[in-house]
Structure 1
Amino acid sequence: MSNLDTATSLERIQPDSPHAERIAAFVHDGIDLDSSPREVQSNTFWQRINGVDTSLWVDSGDIDAIESIWNESFSGLTTNNTLLNKEVQNGTYDDLVPTARELADELCDQALVREIAFILNVRHALRLVERFRCDVSVELHTDLANDTEATLAFARRCHQICPQHFVVKIPLTPAGLIATRQLRDEGIRVNCTLGFSARQNYVATALARPSFVNVFLGRLNSYVADNRLGDGKLVGEKTTLASQGEVATFSRALPTTDTLQIAASLRDASQLPDLAGVDVITIPTKVANQAQQTLDQPWQSQLNESYDVKLAAEVDSETVGIEKLWEVSKAERFFVQQAILSPPQSAEELRLMTTDHDLEDLFPMMADADLQAIARDGKIPVHDRWKGRIVRGDLAIDSLMTLAGLASFADAQAKLDRRIREHLG
């Protein structure tokens, strides 16, 4: 097993190994990226509506659904483990699994499953690139979220397969940020995913300089509404606009930073005008179709807007800490200054630095039982379960939602892994 690095708990194929080269050739087989791209139609609706400096991406992995709305106003695609799982579960890639196994048969059981999942992921992403000739954000296996070295290995391989169009999605965890900083030093584009606040993205931009950061705004609105903390309206939109402003400060001040803000997790077309001016908006195909049926006025930039968000009258605001979604505190700004001067070299060092600055709620420590409870709740955690910790200051809505997002993606990944195991026998 000379091509495997067993120095960490995750066995894996190294980017510069013959195994990696054979797998790259395999996923490229039958994919033609050298021919002239198909002609893309213009669309007067999106040209008229989107009169601001906002790039539009489609949030889908379904080629037929994307095809139905794709036009020259769209410039990118973003996929995740949930979206990929939908494509895998319908049997599209079942025939690839036996050959993929032969290419990576030296790996142990879980590492083999992880490798085949990687192969399926990048193969599908290449098909998207072939058809739409645009940037595609590609997510890594959820097992890697807290493993810096494994993230680096898989991210480098992902980039090597399609350096012109692939953007590697890495979650906003301590390990993910350390890996992202190294990858950006190597010129690899990273989409720092599962962000939920301005302060998270402020820290991520300062420490790691990702190409993109996110606010999953629809989930924030649902968190407030589903937990009956308020009507949930404009919570995510207010957070996204605030995050855009904080991220832009680094791009203006530091020539080495070019981070852009993504507004993600839209639920309804009516949210689009409220986000006008944000760097990138990712749109599910359902929302894009709805927009063409319901929107008619050109968008006006909302970058200077600060939406009014109110909690329900009976809710004690101290048990929610909702302002942490859109505010960056003096303590967080001071922490960032110190981290820039003395960058943390590991995930553990980053976590300890936040603790030293009384910012435990950025990357909270969670017992296994807590993580299991978050997973059971799904994408939207039950607020009453966590409000005691929110009051104590060692947990916040944004970090809780990041953990819930990881758990949700891990659930989809587990379903994909089970299908792979079925075909492995």
Structure 2
Amino acid sequence: MKFFIDTADLAEIAEAKSWGCLAGVTTNPSLYAKTGGKLADFESHMLKIADLCEGLPVSVETTASTVEGMVEDGLRFSSLAPNIVVKVPICEAGLAACRMLADKGVRVNMTLVFSATQALLAANAGARYVSPFIGRFDDIAEDGIAQLADVVACLGNYDWSGKNVDSRVEIIAASVRTPLHVTKAALLGVDIATVPFKTLSKCLKHPLTDRGIALFEADWKKVEQA
């Protein structure tokens, strides 16, 4: 399973990239707002992220609500850099825009997916990536991993050759809150997990690792002092 980072923060992206395990970035309007960025600087900021990622896919989300607006955004965003993927919400307009963008060779990440049927519709409309959410199910006392399992099973039943730009559909586990979400998604065979920097850091940490490093350092000091 590949790791994307779910952020618009350049420092977080640079840090995660320095670890050597980053495979892409996903952003959305809320994440950009957290950076304190202004509307006039949005596209230039996305271009900075794309440049920083050096060819890794960067999902940039449309804020339009009509088919025409989504397509216009998608064509503009994708022209900023070759590694930009257009993020579109699953809805009637989103499906129509996805089909039109895919037919023009633009990669689409269909987001806000909460059911297997939505995922199937997105794949049929030409989505390159489908992003089912996990954590938001947990917020309403439902099982996000079970819903994710349904998406994986349904999409895995079919050959999507010819449906989208790259003749395949990758599943991005989104709204990932914990390392357990990451583990469960990987056990299901999900292609990608997109995680906030805080969660990515938690995936790296383990108390026994910290204890082992401290022990090795203490023992080595004894060697140096001998």
| Structure 1 residue ranges (4+ consecutive) displaced by more than 4 angstroms after TM superposition | none
Mapping of residues 307-318 of structure 1, within 5 Å: none
Partner of residue 43, structure 2: 122
* Kept after mapping to 2: 8 A contact 1:55/1:75: yes
Shift of 1:253: 5.2
Q: After superposition, give the CA deviation of every residue in 1:80-99 in whole Å (9 maximum; x if it has no partner).
A: 0011011135xxx5xxxxxx
Partner of residue 108, structure 2: 190
Shift of 1:296: 8.2
Shift of 1:245: 2.1
Task: Give the secondary-structure state (helix, strand or coil) at the position aligned to 2:42.
Answer: helix
The amino acid of 1:285's aligned partner reads F
Q: List runs of 5+ in structure 1 lacking aligned partners.
A: 1-53, 94-116, 225-231, 298-425
Q: Say if 2:92 is the partner of 1:174.
A: yes
Q: Say if 2:59 is the partner of 1:137.
A: yes
Quickly say closer, same or farther: Cα 1:130–1:149, change in 2 above 3 A: same
Shift of 1:55: 1.4
Partner of residue 6, structure 2: 59
Q: Say if 2:173 is the partner of 1:263.
A: yes
Partner of residue 246, structure 1: 154
TM-score, normalised on structure 2?
A: 0.83
Q: 2:137 aligns with which of 203, 215, 220?
A: 220
Task: Give the secondary-structure state (helix, strand or coil) at the position aligned to 2:58.
Answer: strand
Q: After superposition, give the CA deviation of every residue in 1:341-371 in whole Å (9 maximum; x if it has no partner).
A: xxxxxxxxxxxxxxxxxxxxxxxxxxxxxxx
Task: Give the secondary-structure state (helix, strand or coil) at the position aligned to 1:168.
Answer: strand
* Kept after mapping to 2: 8 A contact 1:60/1:285: yes
Task: Please provide the CA RMSD for this pair.
Answer: 1.9
The amino acid of 1:140's aligned partner reads T
Mapping of residues 270-281 of structure 1, within 5 Å: 270-276=180-186, 277-281=189-193
Rounded to whole Å, the distance in 2 between the matches of 1:136 and 1:288 is 17
Rounded to whole Å, the distance in 1 between the matches of 2:208 and 2:200 is 13
* Higher Cα radius of gyration: 1
Rounded to whole Å, the distance in 1 between the matches of 2:162 and 2:137 is 32
* Kept after mapping to 1: 8 A contact 2:24/2:57: yes
Task: Give the secondary-structure state (helix, strand or coil) at the position aligned to 2:20.
Answer: coil
Q: Say if 2:205 is the partner of 1:293.
A: yes
Shift of 1:290: 1.0
Aligned residue pairs, count: 202
Shift of 1:295: 8.6
The amino acid of 2:53's aligned partner reads F
Quickly say closer, same or farther: Cα 1:131–1:238, change in 2 above 3 A: same
Rounded to whole Å, the distance in 2 between the matches of 1:289 and 1:280 is 17
Rounded to whole Å, the distance in 2 between the matches of 1:200 and 1:149 is 21
Rounded to whole Å, the distance in 1 between the matches of 2:69 and 2:208 is 47
Mapping of residues 325-404 of structure 1, within 5 Å: none
The amino acid of 2:130's aligned partner reads V
Rounded to whole Å, the distance in 2 between the matches of 1:140 and 1:254 is 26
Rounded to whole Å, the distance in 1 between the matches of 2:6 and 2:100 is 27
Rounded to whole Å, the distance in 1 between the matches of 2:32 and 2:68 is 24
TM-score, normalised on structure 1?
A: 0.45
Q: After superposition, give the CA deviation of every residue in 1:290-310 in whole Å (9 maximum; x if it has no partner).
A: 11113989xxxxxxxxxxxxx
The amino acid of 1:160's aligned partner reads S
* Kept after mapping to 1: 8 A contact 2:133/2:174: yes
Partner of residue 161, structure 1: 80
Task: Give the secondary-structure state (helix, strand or coil) at the position aligned to 1:131.
Answer: helix
Percent identity at matched positions? Answer: 28
Larger % of strand: which?
Answer: 2
